[in-house]
Amino acid sequence: MRPKPETTAHVSVKEYSFSKKQVKGIVEASEFKWQFTWAFGKGVLYVQPPLGRALIEDSLLRFLVKKDYELEAGNEYQFTISAKF
């Protein structure tokens, strides 16, 4: 039986502003690195650069929603994506 493909994503929260209702940070997975802003007041996730964005966007949003109240600026987190890239 083949093991399921997976990639570990590493999230670094740089800024968490409740007054602005947004979280800013960096997410890295495999050889990719993106900056993100999650405007949780609007329910919108912005990911830059666009190269490879489709690989991470949905998984990152699910992670952010799930861990919302646990996130703190300056901390690092990780989650597993069920795909290899």
Helix (H), strand (E), coil (C) string for 17-78:
ECCCCEEEEEEEECCEEEEEEEECCCCEEEEECCCCHHHHHHHHHHHHHHHHHHCCCCCEEE
Which pair of structure tokens corresponds to residue 29? Answer: 């997975």
SS3 1: coil
Range of the domain at 84: 27-85
Interval 18-71: pLDDT, tens = 999 999 999 999 999 999 999 999 999 999 999 999 999 999 999 999 998 899
Give the chain's domain count.
1
SS3 80: strand
Residue 32, domain member (yes or no):
yes
- Say if pTM beats, i.e. exceeds, 0.85: yes
